[in-house]
Structure 1
Amino acid sequence: MLTLSTRPRARIATLLACGLTLLAAAPAPVASAASFDFGGAARTYVLHVPAGVERPSALVVNLHAAGANGGAQAALTHYDAVADAHGFAVVYPDGIDASWADGRGASVPDRQRVDDVGFLSALVGRLVTDLGIAPGRVFVTGLSAGAFMANRLACDRADLFAAVAPVAGTLGAGVPCNPSRPVSVFETHGSADPIVPYGGGGMTGRGGTSTVLGAPTMVDRWRQVDGCPPPVDDTLFAVGYGTQVQRSTSAPCAAGTAVVFSRVDGGGHTWPGAPAGPGSVGPTTNAFDASEASWQFFDSHGR
């Protein structure tokens, strides 16, 4: 059964740290969730389809950080409002133990060998069929642990996801990435991220320690996979937060894909465009809105 969300559209003043519990200035909204059995467990999610839209133009999978849930991710990223403005569907799955089996071995679902790649792929298959969405119009974004999971999906299921937009997360250093076809990538990372180190190496999260790729290394890997030309750089200036964004765009890459890297200079472990959060996760930026920007990227890079 598909259940449409009834969450309020307002953002909550919260930022999520990978491996930390949800930090919020207001409680996360309560929302009903649909579920289906996968791997012997009831897996839950919240689906939002804009009112009056019979056939959404696309599906975006939006993955929460560790310690959070789909409802909190919806409130933080205000992706429902973006979906309403552009006529696509967005789904917010819930991870087991509020995390994901992203391959780093630093979460309960990883240690329990939960098949989150299989779960999220099955969920997409169900929604694409039920909503009549074109197969080449499926995308994934996520924050922190959700970003690690999004990158893994792009590596493992490039046949299913046309583009990915990870925010403040890369890939475990030992996680293989051999996508079956080129994937468009819109990667965002703060240069002063106190949780997921910008330059890579060891990190400690909610589930334990892991070794991760640095953001520049992750982007270079995607450029190599996609056969990209040298990048073109530009600068986005923020108002009020004291941060600016260095954006690097490689296009056109193989099969019409693109790789875009947004480095938030002095930025922390945040979702650009969301309200500034506690100092423990660092400053954010309003130079761009990660939700609207990721959708515009997705919309231009379907198959």
Structure 2
Amino acid sequence: MGGMMQAWKTGAAAALLSAVWSGAAVAGCGSEAGACEVADGAYHIALPADANTPPPVVMFLHGYGGSGAQVMRNRALSEGLTARGYAVIAPEGRKRGGSGPQSWGFGPFTEGRDEGAFFASVLTDASGRFGTSTAQTVLAGFSAGAFMVHYLACSDPAAFAAYAPVSGAFWRPQPETCEGPVRLLQTHGWRDEVVPLEGRILGGGRWEQGDVFAGLEVWREANGCASHAPSKAWGEGDLLRRRWDCGPGAEIELVLFDGGHTVPKGWAGWMADWFEDEPAVR
């Protein structure tokens, strides 16, 4: 523990900026605050103000045409998580075709960079620079970022401790099977018209967003769930929630909120509650 603490103090002292952003230290790796370079891309990071042990990590992937910098400017998300003791890492996607909007390589749009290897290198780099955890990690994302979350969780569930996609699922044809087990928190707006719960057809029929509920069936099979029926279904304020507990490390939760294509303001808090509420201790 002493060696870990010393590594944390040394890395943080070398990299933290003097500015403090509402209880979160915004880390810098060069001329641009928060922009850190690795072999195949870049990421932004914000650290909790008080971190006496390696802070857990939420890596949040931006949506289509977005950026990691935009993720960090979403204060409800970034400050909500750092206030709970999490480091927030926001990687930069790749420009489609080299010059188009930034997005991620998933499903029908896989090209160029190995995204899983890129995310792994970001976790390793952040741990070395800032002392963040490489074990207590959540991969989350919005819209195109959420699509990416699903595909990585499907192919390599052990890459992160848990997965938390917001407003995104698989595309058609969706994977017939996924690896497991996996801890998955699926959040979606009831009134989402950009990525409807049932999916939609795009590009004159060339592409088709998948059905969230069909995707959840794939996840129940990956987790070896004995029943399609949820273990629990309940309401919580404006939220409708369903949960499947299917064994060690095999948990699925669906949260529907009364809204459209967005990250709901309360997401950071309930995601942290969910991640910290290990099924074994319920």
* TM-score, shorter chain, exceeding 0.5: yes
Counterpart AA for 1:155: C
Once the two structures are superposed, residues 109-165 of structure 1 have per-residue CA deviations (whole angstroms, 9 ceiling, x without a partner) of x3x432222211221233345555554411111110110111112112211212111
Higher relative contact order (CA 8 A, sep 6+): 1
Gaps of 5+ in 1: 11-29, 239-244, 274-288
Once the two structures are superposed, residues 35-73 of structure 1 have per-residue CA deviations (whole angstroms, 9 ceiling, x without a partner) of 1122xxxx1111112234243331110111111111211
- Distance in 1 between the 2:128 and 2:176 partners? 28
- Aligned to 1:127, what secondary structure does the other structure show? helix
TM-score (norm: length of structure 1) = 0.72
Match of 2:260 among 250, 263, 268: 268
- Aligned to 1:216, what secondary structure does the other structure show? helix
- Distance in 1 between the 2:199 and 2:20 partners? 36
1:255 aligns with 2:257: no
Aligned to 1:278: none
TM-score (norm: length of structure 2) = 0.77
Aligned to 1:100: 104
Q: 1:209 to 1:93 in 2, by over 3 A?
A: farther
Counterpart AA for 2:108: R
Q: Does the CA-based 8 Å contact 1:31-1:71 persist in structure 2? A: no
Aligned to 1:17: none
Aligned to 2:233: 233
Q: What are the residue-to-residue correspondences of 1:1-303 with 2, within 5 Å? A: 4=16, 8=21, 31-38=33-40, 43-76=41-74, 78-97=76-95, 98-105=102-109, 110=110, 112-128=111-127, 130-132=129-131, 135-176=134-175, 178-203=177-202, 210-228=207-225, 229=227, 230-231=229-230, 232-238=232-238, 245-251=239-245, 253-265=246-258, 267-273=259-265, 289-301=266-278
- Distance in 1 between the 2:176 and 2:59 partners? 20
The structure number with the bigger radius of gyration is 2
Gaps of 5+ in 2: 1-10, 24-31, 96-101
Counterpart AA for 1:222: W
Aligned to 2:3: none
Q: 1:179 to 1:255 in 2, by over 3 A?
A: farther
Size of the alignment, in residue pairs?
A: 250
Q: 1:181 to 1:219 in 2, by over 3 A?
A: closer
Q: 1:102 to 1:249 in 2, by over 3 A?
A: same
- Aligned to 1:224, what secondary structure does the other structure show? helix
Once the two structures are superposed, residues 171-221 of structure 1 have per-residue CA deviations (whole angstroms, 9 ceiling, x without a partner) of 1223537554311111011233111121124146xxx96212211112222
- Distance in 1 between the 2:115 and 2:279 partners? 23
- Aligned to 1:78, what secondary structure does the other structure show? helix
Identify the structure with the greater helix proportion.
Answer: 2
Q: 1:174 to 1:82 in 2, by over 3 A?
A: same
Q: Does the CA-based 8 Å contact 2:143-2:168 persist in structure 1? A: yes
* RMSD between aligned residues: 3.0
- Aligned to 1:68, what secondary structure does the other structure show? coil
Q: Does the CA-based 8 Å contact 1:4-1:48 persist in structure 2? A: no
- Distance in 2 between the 1:128 and 1:209 partners? 41
Q: Does the CA-based 8 Å contact 1:138-1:302 persist in structure 2? A: no
Q: Does the CA-based 8 Å contact 1:56-1:87 persist in structure 2? A: no
Q: 1:45 to 1:220 in 2, by over 3 A?
A: same
Q: 1:55 to 1:117 in 2, by over 3 A?
A: same
Q: What displacement does 1:259 show?
A: 0.8
Counterpart AA for 1:293: W
Q: What displacement does 1:295 show?
A: 1.7
- Distance in 2 between the 1:103 and 1:259 partners? 21
- Distance in 1 between the 2:201 and 2:71 partners? 25
Q: What displacement does 1:7 show?
A: 8.3
